């Protein structure tokens, strides 16, 4: 957009955002706000090199106090000296309260903590604007995107915002780029070792020793950093070969039985809001598959109107009707499963898939 890139963290999470900036080798300032809190990440050639914050707990003096490097009295004296235009770090060194080496380490630690703290924000506004970085900053860090995402997501609650970004359970994963030396912790190496080009996300979770939510969060981080890549879906919940019926009505009804099951499951877990949740996902699929879903809505039991679908499909060529119909109905079924995963978690999605799978 004119004036830079703008958006919300709900639509584009921070790991994906910093990955885009790294890929573009961008240079500028990424400002992120959440309520009254504002933090800025300074990016040079795709790497984060500096950060600022208006949150009092992020101030250098507070960082030094928590680390036990200075006393409260030294902090107060240095703050009063700031009126002369000097920086607090320099004042503390001139006072003899801090060595130059301690100052350098403290500022780098302060910058990293500001950067990593933004990963805990599941909501907020962001604005990236290309610009030259301020020359005044002498003490910087050099955080490449892989380190930034892996370490940043370690600090994120696996049951928080990251749940809505968990990878599809049917994706088959393979190893991608080699991780930087010493970056991954032992439990992270364990999960990465389960990725073999044959196991799906669900199967990796089953074999993992750290639980589904932590495994899914880590797989999201590995995918966001290209340490792991997707080979596509391993299985489909309902393949065309499992649809014995030939008429449009019978095909739709075979899917409607599953739609009713998903709807009843979601109603049991979350109540009446289930209808609006699934209607939203149908609306998304309706836009991409209008040839099947134009004007089609959900009935009170979660099923589709067979007559409306049949009218739409009737406009297609006879040789393409069945394939197009089953593909579109499958797409809506996958959308419903995604809604379940984002609303309730991957374990509920798995339970539904097992119940729907033909026996």
- Out of 141, 176, 204, a domain closes at 141
Q: CA-based diameter of the chain, in Å?
A: 86
Residue 85's pLDDT band (cuts 50, 70, 90)? low
The pLDDT assigned to 232 comes to: 73
The pLDDT assigned to 209 comes to: 92
Helices and strands in the chain, H and E counts: 15, 7
Note whether 104 and 168 are same-domain residues. no
Note whether 126 and 164 are same-domain residues. no
Residue 308, domain member (yes or no): yes
- Percent of the chain past pLDDT 90, that is, above it, reads 33
Note whether 229 and 244 are same-domain residues. no
Q: Write the CATH number for 210.
A: 1.10.10.10
Our measurement of the distance from residue 328's CA atom to the centroid of its chain's CA atoms, rounded to an integer in Å, reads 26
| pTM for the model | 0.61
Note whether 18 and 134 are same-domain residues. yes
Note whether 307 and 215 are same-domain residues. no
Rounded Cα gap, residues 28 and 26, in angstroms: 7
pLDDT, average across residues 328-346: 88
Four-point Cα dihedral 187, 188, 190, 196, nearest 10: 160
Give the structural domain span for 162.
157-233
> Which of 264, 162, 269 minimizes the C-alpha distance to 221?
162
Note whether 119 and 167 are same-domain residues. no
Note whether 190 and 316 are same-domain residues. no
The SS3 of residue 42 is strand
Note whether 12 and 135 are same-domain residues. yes
Residue 148, domain member (yes or no): no
- Out of 205, 233, 261, a domain closes at 233
pLDDT at 34 over 90: yes
Note whether 60 and 132 are same-domain residues. yes
> Which of 230, 121, 234 minimizes the C-alpha distance to 167?
230
Could you give the number of structural domains in the chain? 3
Residue 150, domain member (yes or no): no
Rounded Cα gap, residues 164 and 245, in angstroms: 35
Residue 213, domain member (yes or no): yes
Alpha helices per DSSP H over 289-345 = 290-293, 306-313, 321-344
Residue 314, domain member (yes or no): yes
- Out of 233, 266, 290, a domain closes at 233
Note whether 219 and 330 are same-domain residues. no
Rounded Cα gap, residues 175 and 178, in angstroms: 8
pLDDT, average across residues 57-73: 88
If you search the block for the tokens 């080496």, which residue do you land on? Answer: 101
Residue 324, domain member (yes or no): yes
The DSSP secondary structure of 156-212, one letter per residue, reads S-TTSGGGGGPPPTTEEEEE-SPPPTT-S-HHHHHHHHH--SS-BHHHHHHH-SS-H
pLDDT at 240 over 50: no
More confident residue, 287 or 155: 155
Residue 151, domain member (yes or no): no
Note whether 212 and 89 are same-domain residues. no
Rounded Cα gap, residues 312 and 186, in angstroms: 54
Kindly list the distances between the CA atom of residue 304 and the CA atoms of 42, 71, 177, 252, in Å, as whole numbers in the listed order: 50, 68, 44, 8
Note whether 197 and 316 are same-domain residues. no
């Amino acid at each position: 957009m004119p004036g830079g890139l703008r958006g919300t963290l709900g639509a584009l999470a921070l790991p994906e955002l910093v990955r885009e900036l790294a890929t573009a080798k961008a240079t500028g300032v990424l400002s992120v706000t959440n309520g009254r809190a504002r933090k800025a990440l300074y990016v040079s050639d795709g790497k984060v090199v500096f950060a600022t914050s208006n949150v009092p707990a992020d101030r250098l003096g507070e960082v030094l106090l928590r680390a036990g490097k200075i006393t409260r009295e030294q902090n107060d004296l240095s703050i009063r000296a700031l009126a002369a235009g000097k920086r607090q770090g320099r004042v503390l060194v001139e006072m003899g309260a801090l060595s130059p080496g301690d100052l350098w380490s403290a500022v780098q630690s302060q910058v990293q903590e500001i950067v990593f703290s933004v990963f805990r924000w599941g909501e907020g506004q962001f604005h990236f604007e290309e610009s030259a970085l301020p020359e005044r900053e002498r003490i910087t860090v050099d955080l490449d995107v892989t380190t930034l995402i892996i370490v940043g997501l370690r600090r994120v609650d696996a049951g928080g915002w990251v749940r809505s970004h968990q990878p599809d359970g049917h994706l088959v994963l393979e190893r991608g780029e080699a991780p930087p030396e010493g970056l991954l912790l032992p439990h992270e190496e364990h999960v990465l070792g389960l990725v073999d080009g044959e196991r799906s996300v669900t199967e990796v979770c089953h074999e993992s020793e750290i639980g589904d939510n932590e495994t899914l969060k880590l797989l999201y981080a590995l995918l966001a950093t290209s340490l792991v890549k997707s080979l596509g879906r391993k299985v489909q919940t309902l393949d065309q070969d499992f649809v014995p019926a030939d008429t449009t009505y019978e095909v739709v009804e075979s899917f409607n039985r599953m739609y009713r099951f998903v709807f009843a499951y979601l109603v049991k877990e979350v109540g009446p809001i289930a209808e609006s949740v699934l209607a939203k996902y149908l609306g998304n699929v309706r836009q991409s598959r209008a040839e099947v879903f134009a004007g089609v809505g959900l009935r009170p039991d979660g099923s589709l109107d067979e007559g409306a679908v049949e009218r739409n499909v009737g406009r297609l060529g006879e040789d393409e009707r069945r394939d197009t119909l089953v593909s579109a109905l499958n797409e809506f079924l996958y959308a419903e499963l995604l809604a379940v995963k984002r609303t309730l978690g991957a374990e509920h999605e798995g339970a539904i898939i097992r119940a729907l799978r033909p026996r």
